[in-house]
Chains A and B, each alone.
Chain A
Amino acid sequence: MSLEPQELENLKSKIGREPTSTELQIVAAEWSEHCSYKSSKKHLKMLPMTGPLVISEKGYDSGVLDVGNGFVITAHIESHNHPSAVEPYGGAATGVGGVIRDILSAGTRPIAIFNGLRFGDIEKDLQARWLFKNSVTGIADYGNCLGIPTIGGEVEFDECYSNYALVDVAAIGFGKKENLIKNHAKVGDLVVLMGGSTGRDGIGGSQFASDSLESEDRSAVQIPDPFIEKLIIEAILEARNQNLINALKDLGGGGLSCAVSETADTMGIGIKMDVDKVHTRELGMHPDEIMISESQERMLIITNKQKLEKLKKICKKFHVACSVIGQVTSGNLMQVKKGKKTFANISTDIVANARLLDRPSKKPTYLKTIQKEKKFKPILNHSKTMMKLLSSPNIASKLWVYSQYDHEVGIRTVVKPGQDASVLRLDNGKFLSAKIDGNPKHCYINPREGAIGCFEEACRNVVCTGAKPIGMLDHLQFGNPQDPEIFWTFLESLKGLADFAKYFKIPCIGGKVSFYNETPKGPIKPTPIIGILGLNDKKPLVPKKINNDDCLVIIGKTKNELGGSEYYEYIHKFVGGNCPVVDFEESKRNMTVILDIIKKGLIKSAHDCSKGGIGIATSELCMTNQIGCKISLEKVPGEKLNVDRILYSESHSRYLLVLEKKNLVELEIILKKNQVSFKTIGKFGGKKIQFCKGKKSIIDLSVDKAYQVWINSLKELIVHG
């Protein structure tokens, strides 16, 4: 893989000569879609990126938020889709490693990992099952070894990911504001490469990720070593505490090429380096290979002569290799030498700044008809349908996944995985809530509204713990951007996200764009993933046990919005219909009132109503609390709808609240005052999940029977399927 012909011409005219082979490799890596964002960069500016809590520093790979009392959190999201689709264990594991080093680059300690996993239909597709199982093990083995808790995420299955995998990893860091590494460098400073040795694994990984996955290029997949990563984390933090690091950069996509050119470009310096000084895994590596190898667990440090001895001592303590590979020069040249011979001598401004593109876009034709509704035969046995939905891999409990992740290490995890959002305690007495959400089924039917829905759903989850959303991470995953129809879906999603972010004043603190997610059957559905961070100054709402006679209240309107719902797709095998649409005003009103109610201590728990609608959300409350509930569907506020629509519509901005009867009057006063749509729709007690409409029983299930299906079906599929 190399540059496009017009890019090569562009390069030649910029440097005024033929590039050397090393220069070509360096530029091809850095100008790849993966590293340069050449298709998306112009458009990403529409997202708001500033706010009162946002700290921006040059050269950071992660976003930074001020959480008060002299502390900051950092956050970042990445994907490792192409590698995971070829080699799921190594691909997923190194995905974790990469994002952790981005957090470390700012000088903060990583304190949590999240992941979003997407595969084909695991009920039918054995390869999808293999990809799923090995991705989970890869993440578990890497994160567990590092001692960083994996505290949340999501797993989804859809035929559009057949023969492919989406592995998204987000991470959060925490530290003192004064310890943030403020990247700076002086002429004569030393450039040090620390960590694992450079080998032939991961050669050309970023270009591999910037094209459709046609051949299984296994050499482009990196090899994980979490033990070295753990040593690097401790060594870097110790060096940071001793103020030995002037500038720091992770080696990720594009390897040394990108790390060196981007560091030099953002700081306005030149760097002269010698590939002979790089510690390698094997003999006889060509300078080109050394420059673009994506071997893992490496960090680039800029330090000076006085600090070097102390830095070496720390590396010796942890048995981590560190080599001085070059030095900072004046000007802006990136010079790569091997001994005395020069292999590249090129301006970093050229390397680090690919020509940005203005790709054409066109509304896809399928969207003209996709929102048409379809009539189905009436459901005769709603209890049976509900049991089937509870066993759907998209709805069944993900216990099998998160029980393999150490989610307790670090002793911060207040609200554990399996709830709406996870909550961590911070050293300043505050609490951080976080959640990632995606919904490709909605996004396929309506790219704009679907993306907004993901954003709102992640906010709802965080709000359910009593935290106010303070920052957003986005990860935009699409097919080939050269296809105008795909590019249109990308732009629509982005516009939707930007509108929502501006309306709610939630800054985007970091993100990633991943194109060329193509399977043998075509592009994936548009898959934006949204991560939300929320801050709580006081104690978070930790769900309390539900008892007999507790009340169930719903907030928000239920609309005729089953397009892309699990009910349509899993039960009726129908892709299409009305995509749920977020009403910004209603959304804000509901979020504000939920935070107020939680602050007043009126409720035992708040649960987001999303995939599977009221039917599934209520059942989840019953199953996790081992208690029955009788729900009157005719009381549900919103449009007049058939029972299956009330049960399974996936309308946004809805919350289920559980409270003691004695608090009901006070709650109702607040809700009325705030002009929120709400109704008390159920009462807990007994051992049965019962949905009724008037006097007619619609669903009647034993809590225990439902629980067994919901908790076991995913595990059964993997272990015995």
Chain B
Amino acid sequence: MKVGVVVFPGSNCDRDMFHVLTDVFNLNAQYFWHEKGLPKNIDAIVLPGGFSYGDRLRAGIIAAHSPIIKDVQKMAKKGIPILGVCNGFQILVESGLLPGVLLKNNSLNFMCEWTNLIVENNKTPFTNQFQLNQKIPIPIANGEGRYFVDGATLKKLKKNNQIVFRYDKIVNGSSDRIAGVCNEDGNVVGMMPHPERAVESEINPIDNKPSSLIFESMLDAMGAKN
């Protein structure tokens, strides 16, 4: 079972994600530099957080044009589980794999704090081990984390069950308190908070079990597929 961790110039949560995948969940993870292609035998893909290309122009837009994104798009069509975290989410949005945009937080500041998520869709490869409405204590760390969609798209997201996570209260002004969404097929998920920062009890001051379910869901989804 192989998980690809895609690395762009300026990614900075790649090593954290790699540590969690390999040392905490015993997965076979491998880094893929953005200029290379992805092998066919990959079972899941993670786009970690960071500041790809220093957030120039706007977060995620330059990385969305990297060569590797073509392969990510192909994998997405095949139904392979793909998770984008923080800058990874921004890249998935900018590359058209997920709907919406991510704007500057309404405080206009970078925000690093612990929030609570509510699971709104437990049918995705990253949420299948959760109860609906389950709470996840998890940190955010972003400057452009305010998810925005227009009214018509929001309606569509609700209808297709594409809202995966909401904050339990207003954090940054996101449309409908949205913290994470999926594509129509449900296999591509993007989220602003950082699950890799919350799965180890040593550094999670509240409860590390809920966040761990994100990775356990992924394990389950990969197992079911094979």
Contacts and interface: CB of A to CB of B under 8 A. Distances in A.
B56 A406 contact: no
A408 B139 contact: yes
A411 B54 contact: no
A383 interface: no
B203 A145 contact: no
Contacts of A14: none
A230 B51 contact: yes
A38 to B, nearest CB: 38
A412 interface: yes
A414 B202 contact: yes
B197 A408 contact: yes
Contact of B202 (A141, A225, A425): A425
A147 B50 contact: yes
Nearest to B50: A147
B9 A144 contact: no
Contacts of B112: 402-408
B205 interface: yes
B148 interface: no
A226 B55 CA distance: 10
A140 interface: yes
Nearest to A146: B12
Contacts of A404: 109-112
B113 A403 contact: yes
B120 interface: no
B54 A144 contact: no
B10 to A, nearest CB: 6
A416 B113 CA distance: 10
A318 interface: yes
Contacts of A405: 110, 112
B54 A225 contact: yes
A426 B211 CA distance: 22
B194 interface: yes
A310 interface: no
A414 B203 contact: yes
Interface in A432-456: none
Given A319-B9, A404-B112, A416-B205, A409 B16 contact: yes
A230 B203 contact: no
Interface string B39-68: 000000000011101111000000000000
Contacts of B110: 140-141, 144, 404-406
Interface in A464-497: none
A317 interface: yes
A602 interface: no
Interface in A363-378: none
Interface in B1-48: 9-10, 12-13, 15-16, 19-20, 33
Given A146-B12, A404-B110, A406-B112, A411 B19 contact: yes
Most buried by A among B9, B50, B194, B200: B9
Nearest to B33: A317
Contact of A147 (B9, B13, B20, B205): B13
Chain A contact patch, size range: 20 to 34
Interface in A612-647: none
A405 B200 CA distance: 21
A195 to B, nearest CB: 14
Contacts of B55: 145
A412 B10 CA distance: 20
B12 A147 contact: yes
Interface string B99-127: 00000000001111100000000000000
B94 interface: no
Contacts of B143: 144
B11 to A, nearest CB: 8
Nearest to B54: A227
A227 B10 contact: yes
Interface in A555-579: none
B141 A144 contact: yes
Contacts of B203: 408, 411-414, 425
Contact of A230 (B12, B139, B197, B205): B12
A406 B56 CA distance: 19
Nearest to A148: B12
Given A317-B33, A405-B112, A411 B196 contact: yes
A270 B197 CA distance: 48
A414 B200 CA distance: 10
A522 interface: no
Nearest to A109: B15
A414 B201 CA distance: 9
Contacts of A317: 33
Contacts of B111: 403-404
A537 to B, nearest CB: 15
Given A318-B9, A403-B111, A405-B112, A144 B51 contact: yes
A410 interface: yes
Interface string B140-162: 01010000000000000000000
A140 B111 CA distance: 10
Contacts of A407: 112
B194 A408 contact: yes
B54 A226 contact: yes
A411 B16 contact: yes
A542 B206 CA distance: 12
Nearest to A415: B205
B51 to A, nearest CB: 4
Contact of A227 (B15, B56, B139, B194): B56
Nearest to A719: B107
A231 interface: yes
Given A145-B51, A226-B54, A410 B10 contact: no
A150 to B, nearest CB: 9
Interface string B51-94: 10111100000000000000000000000000000000000000
Nearest to A234: B9
A412 B16 CA distance: 9
Contacts of A414: 202-203
A411 B56 CA distance: 25
B19 to A, nearest CB: 7
A390 B12 CA distance: 37
A542 B201 CA distance: 12
Contacts of A411: 16, 19-20, 196-197, 200, 203
A135 to B, nearest CB: 14
A409 B9 contact: no
Nearest to A230: B10
Contacts of A141: 110
Contacts of A146: 12
Contacts of A406: 110, 112, 141
Most buried by A among B13, B54, B113: B54
Most buried by B among A144, A411, A425, A542: A411
A466 to B, nearest CB: 15
B61 to A, nearest CB: 14
Contacts of A227: 9-10, 51, 53-54, 56
A527 B8 CA distance: 42
A410 B141 CA distance: 12
A409 B112 CA distance: 10
A145 B54 contact: yes
A423 to B, nearest CB: 10
Most buried by A among B50, B141, B196, B205: B141
Given A404-B112, A406-B110, 11 more contacts: A147-B50, A227-B9, A230-B9, A230-B51, A230-B54, A403-B109, A409-B12, A409-B197, A411-B200, A412-B203, A413-B203
17 contacts: A144-B143, A146-B12, A225-B54, A226-B51, A227-B51, A402-B112, A404-B109, A405-B110, A405-B112, A406-B110, A408-B194, A409-B12, A409-B141, A411-B16, A411-B19, A411-B20, A411-B203
Interface of A: 140-141, 144-147, 225-227, 230-231, 317-319, 402-414, 416, 425, 542
Interface of B: 9-10, 12-13, 15-16, 19-20, 33, 49-51, 53-56, 109-113, 139, 141, 143, 194, 196-197, 200, 202-203, 205
The 3 closest A-B pairs by CB, nearest first: A147-B12, A227-B54, A145-B51
